[in-house]
């Protein structure tokens, strides 16, 4: 396993810091409530961020593997893999008494919590730490908050993006200097409480992908002013091609990920979040394309491409840079 050479910190190690970490990455069939984990990796770190060991497993999701073009795990590859209940004990051993660390930790934690609940086991995790939140606390000069940008900032080389084991390794190596920087600067770690699910009941019918009634009986919420997108609109999204910075993205309907968080991630990736659909809209993201909302009706009349939340979020992980454009350094 690869470790960073710098093992010293100039300041005394804060006694209030956790005594161990479990850096986690999971690949999944999607992002909705009923989506499943297809692979998981854990790097165990000591109190100062030094790697102790690592672990990786495939997981049979008992369903379609989802975006194979992202994680590369086909049904044939996963057919002989263990079910989650068969690896839950091994995973628990590596998570117990440690802070769960992940890039966008809310997602990894929610997927793990659901899998544990399905297996009728309580996940042994009490706290989590999101490396995106830590990067913001440290005000790292990143162009965006992708794992690749965090890795590049600390000189960590990615070998196999979207492979759970390599993503966990990269994050572990980038987390260690982040942890030391926080210790030197007296920065409080952005720890959040984890509340495991204690029971699970499968829906009697298959829900719409990503559906969650997040906003009660209607989807009204206060509009949020965002800075202008610095990139030109490259046009419409094309199937089987990556998203490109500057694309105009509109959202319609309920989403499994909080809408503002989803929009924030789109903006950080260099996309333009539009409040309405026009002929200039690059794509519409909705989990219910058959709903007769004004946005879906306009999108269909204009021939605007429509993606569900799961497909959009996976594409969001690898947005192509705008042609001839160099993003300005982030103020974070």
**What is the per-residue pLDDT across 5-22, written as a single tens digit (0 to 9) for each?**
444 444 567 877 998 999
Average predicted confidence (pLDDT) for the chain: 84
Please compute, for residue 239, the number of CA atoms within 13 A of its CA located in the half-sphere on the CB side.
Answer: 5
Cα distance between residue 242 and residue 132, in whole Å: 23
pLDDT value of position 219: 33
Tokens describing residue 87: 């690896």
pTM score, whole prediction: 0.63
Check whether 318 has a pLDDT greater than 60.
yes
Q: What is the DSSP letter of 21?
A: E
Cα distance between residue 67 and residue 162, in whole Å: 11
Instruction: Kindly write down the DSSP assignment for every residue of 249-298, as one continuous string.
Output: EEEES--SS-HHHHHHHHHHTT-EEESS--TT--EEEES-TTS--HHHHH
> Residues 289-298: contacts with CB within 8 Å, 24+ apart?
291/252, 291/253, 293/252, 293/253, 295/250, 295/252, 296/252
Check whether 24 has a pLDDT greater than 90.
yes
**Cα angle for residues 57, 58, 63 (degrees, 5° grid):** 150
φ, ψ of residue 237 to 5 degrees: the values are -70, 140
Name the 3-class secondary structure at 113.
Answer: helix
Please compute, for residue 142, the number of CA atoms within 13 A of its CA located in the half-sphere on the CB side.
Answer: 28
Tokens describing residue 238: 């094309």
Q: Are 143 and 327 in contact (CB under 8 A)?
A: yes
Mean pLDDT on 84-92: 97
Closest Cα partner for 257 from 204, 209, 217? 209
Residue 192 neighbours by CB under 8 Å, 6+ apart: 105, 127, 128, 129, 130
At 8, which helix (H) or strand (E)? Answer: none
Digit-coded pLDDT (tens) for 141-198 = 988 878 999 999 999 999 998 999 999 999 999 999 999 999 999 999 999 888 877 7
Q: How would you class 217 by CB atoms within 10 Å of its CB: exposed for 0-12, middle for 13-18, buried for 19 or more?
A: exposed
């Amino acid at each position: 396993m690869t470790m960073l050479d710098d093992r010293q910190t100039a300041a005394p190690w804060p006694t209030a810091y956790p005594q161990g970490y479990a850096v986690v990455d999971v690949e999944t069939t999607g992002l909705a409530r009923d989506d499943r984990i297809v692979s998981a990796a854990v790097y165990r770190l000591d109190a100062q961020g030094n790697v102790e060991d690592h672990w990786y497993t495939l997981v049979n999701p008992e369903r379609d593997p989802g975006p194979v073009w992202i994680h590369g795990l086909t049904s044939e590859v996963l057919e002989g893999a263990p079910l989650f209940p068969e690896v839950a004990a091994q995973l628990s051993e590596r998570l117990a008494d440690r802070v769960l660390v992940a890039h966008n930790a809310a997602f990894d934690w929610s997927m793990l919590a659901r899998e544990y609940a399905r297996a009728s086991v309580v996940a042994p995790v009490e706290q989590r730490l999101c490396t995106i939140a830590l990067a913001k606390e440290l005000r790292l000069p990143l162009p965006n908050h992708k794992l690749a940008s965090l890795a590049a900032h600390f000189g960590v080389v990615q070998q196999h993006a979207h492979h759970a084991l390599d993503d966990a390794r990269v994050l572990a190596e980038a987390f260690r200097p982040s942890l030391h920087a926080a210790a030197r600067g007296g920065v409080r770690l952005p720890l959040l409480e984890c509340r495991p699910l204690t029971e699970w009941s499968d829906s009697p019918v298959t829900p719409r992908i990503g559906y969650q009634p997040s906003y009660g009986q209607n989807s009204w919420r206060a509009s949020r002013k965002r800075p202008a997108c610095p990139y030109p609109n490259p046009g419409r999204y094309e199937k089987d091609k990556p998203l490109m910075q500057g694309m105009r993205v509109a959202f319609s309907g309920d989403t499994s990920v909080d809408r503002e968080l989803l929009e924030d991630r789109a903006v950080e990736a260099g996309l333009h979040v539009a409040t309405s659909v026009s002929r200039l809209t690059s794509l519409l993201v909705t989990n219910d394309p058959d709903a007769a909302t004004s946005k879906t009706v306009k999108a269909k009349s204009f021939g605007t491409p429509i993606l569900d939340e799961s497909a959009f979020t996976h594409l969001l992980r690898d947005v192509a840079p705008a042609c001839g454009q160099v993003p300005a350094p982030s103020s974070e």
